[in-house]
């Protein structure tokens, strides 16, 4: 009888999957659509797995700052992280292709570029013990300044925020002085003179209340950077096959939702800045021409760095 009881208990516990709790580092404040998307992603997973997996989303980079996220996920400091893809540009140029100016500056072009890029990044991340779950785009990038500008001459020597290797390179080619500032630090950086101008999206402009520290926004639509959400591979592999599939299904929905949200939010966010007193305008013709020339140069530089895989990626993009 004792043996039978032991076997019965063994059978019972063999069929029981221990619930898991993951911590997720999300980059942006709670009101940002990227963070809202991440929270819905987590909620859908908890519901689909019937509580087998709970993801606790911590917003506004409170767990890890942008430069720390990928390594933090890789080492298991957090199980899940959201981070700007181009932040890894120094590691491999394929991570920054979405931020090469004017290579893909519309949402349709950017989405095609991401479809061509994803397999290359999945392969690289997998080799580092990371699973790529989904991406979501920012709105197109524009220029924020305290004073009106007409050409690059007006930005000569200006302290210009860079948030990735490629944006710092862009600032240098513009004749400005690139200065790295993380998103939560932007208002203070402007108020203390650390930076005088920046290139970023209307989402960041609204999140940081740009109207408090700059007057002008130029809708450059230079490129559309992406964030992606990644998970520690060991943590993912410990899930049951059913929960793994639930995570992948929720990730696919989050990616679709993220692209839809970005398209819908771009004009709304731009309008909020105008309603708060900012002067919103297209690029002045001379500045637009000068930036296009810089974009062409940076595409050439990127191709030289990215090598054979870079050319394969561009071929896949252009064949869509």
Identify the pLDDT of residue 149. 98
The pair of structure tokens assigned to 206 is 């609204």
Structure tokens at 249: 């299904």
Place of tokens 């513009």: 174
Asked whether 95 and 121 are in contact (CB, 8 A), the reply is yes
Which is it for strands 216-219 and 53-58: parallel, antiparallel or unpaired?
unpaired
pTM: 0.91
* Residue 307 Rama label (left phi>0; alpha psi -120 to 50; beta): left
With 0-12 / 13-18 / 19 or more C-beta atoms within 10 angstroms meaning exposed / middle / buried, residue 4 is: exposed
> CA quadruple 56, 60, 62, 68: dihedral positive or negative?
positive
Q: Per residue of the chain (320 residues), what is the pLDDT tens digit?
A: 445 444 444 444 444 557 899 999 999 999 999 999 999 999 999 999 999 999 999 999 999 999 999 999 999 999 999 999 999 999 999 999 999 999 999 999 999 999 999 999 999 999 999 999 999 999 999 999 999 999 999 999 999 999 999 999 999 999 999 999 999 999 999 999 999 999 999 999 999 999 999 999 999 999 999 999 999 999 999 999 999 999 999 999 999 999 999 999 999 999 999 999 999 999 999 999 999 999 999 999 999 999 999 999 999 999 99
Q: What are phi and psi of 161, to 5 degrees?
A: -65, 130
Q: Which residues contact 207 (CB under 8 A, 6 or more apart)?
A: 28, 29, 31, 32, 183
Phi, psi at residue 256, to the nearest 5°?
A: -60, -45
Q: Output the pLDDT for position 314.
A: 97
Cβ neighbours of 242 (radius 10 Å)? 12
Residue 77 CA to residue 222 CA, distance in Å, equals 34
Helix (H, G, I), strand (E, B) or coil at 229: strand
CA atoms of 170 and 215, how far apart (whole Å):
22
Domains located in the chain, CATH noted:
19-137+225-269 (3.40.190.170), 142-223+279-318 (3.40.190.170)
pLDDT at 114: 98
Residue closest to 265 by CA, chosen among 62, 26, 35: 35
Q: What local confidence, expressed as pLDDT, does residue 97 receive? A: 98
The closest alpha carbon to 191, from 199, 176, 181, belongs to 181
Nearest CA-CA partner of 236 in 85, 34, 75, 20: 20
Tokens (6 digits) for 79: 């199980």
């Amino acid at each position: 009888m004792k043996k039978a009881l032991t076997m019965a208990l063994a059978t019972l516990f063999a069929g029981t999957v221990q619930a898991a709790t993951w911590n997720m580092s999300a980059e942006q404040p709670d009101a940002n659509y990227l963070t809202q998307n991440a929270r819905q992603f987590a909620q859908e997973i908890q519901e689909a797995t019937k509580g087998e997996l709970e993801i606790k989303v911590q917003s506004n980079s409170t767990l890890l700052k942008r430069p720390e996220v990928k390594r933090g996920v890789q080492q298991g400091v957090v199980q899940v992280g959201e981070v700007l893809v181009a932040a890894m540009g120094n590691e491999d140029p394929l991570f920054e292709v979405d931020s090469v100016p004017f290579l893909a500056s519309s949402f349709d072009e950017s989405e095609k570029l991401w479809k061509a890029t994803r397999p290359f990044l999945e392969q690289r991340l997998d080799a580092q013990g990371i699973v790529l779950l989904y991406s979501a785009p920012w709105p197109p990038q524009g220029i924020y300044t305290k004073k009106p500008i007409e050409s690059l001459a007006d930005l000569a020597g200006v302290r210009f925020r860079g948030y990735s290797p490629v944006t710092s390179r862009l600032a240098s080619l513009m004749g400005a002085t690139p200065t790295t500032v993380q998103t939560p630090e932007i208002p203070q950086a402007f108020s203390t003179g650390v930076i005088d101008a920046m290139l970023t999206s209307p989402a960041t402009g609204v999140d940081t209340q740009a109207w408090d520290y700059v007057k002008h926004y130029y809708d450059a639509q230079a490129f559309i950077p992406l964030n992606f959400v990644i998970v520690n591979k060991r943590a993912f592999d410990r899930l049951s096959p059913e929960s793994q599939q639930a995570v992948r299904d929720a990730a696919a929905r989050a990616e679709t939702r993220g692209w839809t949200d970005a398209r819908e939010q771009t004009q709304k966010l731009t309008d909020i800045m105008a309603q708060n007193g900012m002067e919103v305008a297209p690029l002045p013709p001379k500045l637009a021409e000068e930036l296009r020339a810089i974009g062409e140069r940076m595409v050439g530089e990127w191709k030289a760095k990215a090598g054979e895989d870079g050319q394969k990626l561009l071929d896949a993009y252009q064949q869509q």
